[in-house]
Structure 1
Amino acid sequence: MDFNYETIQVIQQKAIDMVFEAGPIILKAIVLLLIGRWLIKFLLRQLGKGLDKYEIDPSLGTFFKSFLSAILWVVLLIAVATTLGMQMTSFVAILGAAGLAVGLALQGSLANFAGGVLILVFKPFRVGDTIEAQGTLGSVESIDILYTKVRNFDNKVVTVPNGALANNSIVNLSQKPTRRVEMAVGVAYGTDLKKTRKVILDVLKKDERIHADPEPVVKFTSFGDSSLDLSVRCWADAGDLWPVYWDNMEALKEAFEANEIEIPFPQRDVNHYYPEGKKE
């Protein structure tokens, strides 16, 4: 019993000594971590204000903030590890070995990082552009260090890897200030195409959003199953594309009805054939 009691006392004393020795170091490391965390947030906020003040490209701003945040956190963790007594050479060796292992395991992430750099350098799109890529159509919300966030038109945010964007086709719908509006129109067989063309052009001329140069065109394209098919093409500002399309499709219907131009629908002729001698 004496031996056990004395052993317990020795263990307790050693534990107390370790607390007094290691306690200040651990407390110092915790304080350093908290201060460093606050400082990183403060620096990123100031950086964001500076980027806004000098009107830096938002695409570059979000990417640079993400990258700087990662670097600052690595520096902070090294400082905390050093405070806890870990030798810098040992820590760097461990960090290098861990970096190699992580690099092999995260080859896709490294490809995404490289893809983000390529996107920022060559600028196939910017924050705010409407793009179609990787099966997603929407507005670019941010270009981060590894991923690009695209908000589609039903307000869902799609996260697309930068590597996939940098190495595949991208359709940028916002890069040019004007867009072509194309409407498909069908009229019944027997309709006067010259009259129809004049009615369509008169409707388009009333819309001030449609550009006079290039001027609108109406071309006969094909003989459909139940209609003569026409292609109506005009140009408008990129932001007016869909309003121009919707408004003029409705206006064309009303103009056709007012000018007695028949809008066709699928029809079938049914003929009855009777055997010889049978009365109808």
Structure 2
Amino acid sequence: MDMNAIQNFLSTTALDLGIKILAAIAFWIVGRWLIGKVVGLIQAGMNRNSIDPTLTKYLGSIITIALNITLVLGILGYFGIQTTSFAAMLAGAGVAIGAAWSGMLGNFAAGAFMLVLRPFKVGDFVSIGGMTGTIHELGLFATTIITPDNVMTLVGNGKVFGDTVQNFSALPSRRVERTAQLAQGVDPLDAIARLKVAVARIPNVVASPAPEVNLLDFKLEGPVISVRPYTHTDNYWQVYFDTNEAIIKVCQEAGWPVPAAYHKVVQG
């Protein structure tokens, strides 16, 4: 073994390679830091101009991916690798991956369409893809929502875009649906008048549209009154439970008897 050749290799080629590897690591660390700063500045500028947070996050993700690819190509070019060949290889790999992951690309395309059509934005309370919750983030491939029981859930954008979307925050108010089962002999018109007054006093019930209290149905136990106040979706559950309490209080204050069927359940 020629020791001089080994020493020459270590002093030239290996040392060169080591320096390039260290330089590539440094480029990667500094590049990633710069990318974070650039994306942060762009998003901060968009936020200052009151751009939709959904659009801000979506564009931030796209810019991050594009700059990371540019960084990798730059590092490969530093090592002397022909980036044009690499780009062609990347394009070919993209076609193969696209055929295998058509669903992922479908999610990406659906996300782009949702960004244009904007059926909802971050913070909206929605029902999408069979899930109900508050929009946390619109990602490249999936939409993240927080369900009412505080569970973070990801729904593929393709499923969101291809299914029914209900946006409970799009309009200023939402109707709460409750019913009051009265006993036989209770005057339903008197009950309607009392309930209208009680529901109107509930906090966060809007005046327009006005609460709807109507004679809904007749049952063997007695008449059924529908009680439908309107409120903003942020106050939905507060108004829902307060309406239940208002119905109970009205019945107690009026001294109305318990409906026969419910009375039998209690006695049994």
Give the structure-2-normalised TM-score. Answer: 0.89
**SS of residue paired to 1:131:** strand
2:67 paired with 1:69: no
CA deviations on 1:115-157 (whole Å, 9 max, x unpaired) are 1111110010000100011221111111122221101112111
How far has the Cα of 1:9 moved from its partner?
6.4
- Stretches of structure 2 lacking an aligned partner (at least 5 in a row): none
Q: Tell me: CA distance 1:255–1:146, structure 2 relative to 1, closer, same or farther (3 Å).
A: same
**SS of residue paired to 2:88:** helix
Give the AA of the match of 1:180.
Answer: R
Return the match for 1:158 from 146, 153, 157. Answer: 153
2:119 paired with 1:117: no
RMSD: 2.2
Return the match for 1:202 from 175, 197, 220. Answer: 197
Give the AA of the match of 2:198.
Answer: V
Residues 132 and 138, structure 1, Cα contact 8 Å, conserved in 2: yes
Give the AA of the match of 1:124.
Answer: P
Return the match for 1:46 from 41, 45, 56. Answer: 41
- Structure showing greater radius of gyration is 1
Distance (Å, rounded) in 2 between the aligned partners of 1:25 and 1:213: 70
CA deviations on 1:246-274 (whole Å, 9 max, x unpaired) are 11221221121111212324466xxxxxx
Range 179-188 or range 230-239, more displaced: 230-239
Return the match for 2:134 from 139, 143, 161. Answer: 139
Q: How does 1:6-17 map to 2 (within 5 A)?
A: 6=1, 10-11=5-6, 13-17=8-12
How far has the Cα of 1:77 moved from its partner?
0.6
Give the AA of the match of 2:250.
Answer: A
CA deviations on 1:143-176 (whole Å, 9 max, x unpaired) are 1222211011121110111111111111100000
Range 218-227 or range 146-155, more displaced: 218-227
Identity of aligned residues (%): 30
- Stretches of structure 1 lacking an aligned partner (at least 5 in a row): 1-5, 269-280
2:255 paired with 1:260: yes
Report what 1:94 is aligned to: 89
Distance (Å, rounded) in 2 between the aligned partners of 1:56 and 1:71: 21
How far has the Cα of 1:7 moved from its partner?
5.4
Distance (Å, rounded) in 2 between the aligned partners of 1:206 and 1:20: 81
Residues 124 and 135, structure 2, Cα contact 8 Å, conserved in 1: yes
CA deviations on 1:210-244 (whole Å, 9 max, x unpaired) are 34443333222223353422212232333333222
**SS of residue paired to 2:229:** strand
Residues 225 and 266, structure 1, Cα contact 8 Å, conserved in 2: no
Give the AA of the match of 2:211.
Answer: P
Distance (Å, rounded) in 2 between the aligned partners of 1:187 and 1:233: 16
Give the structure-1-normalised TM-score. Answer: 0.86
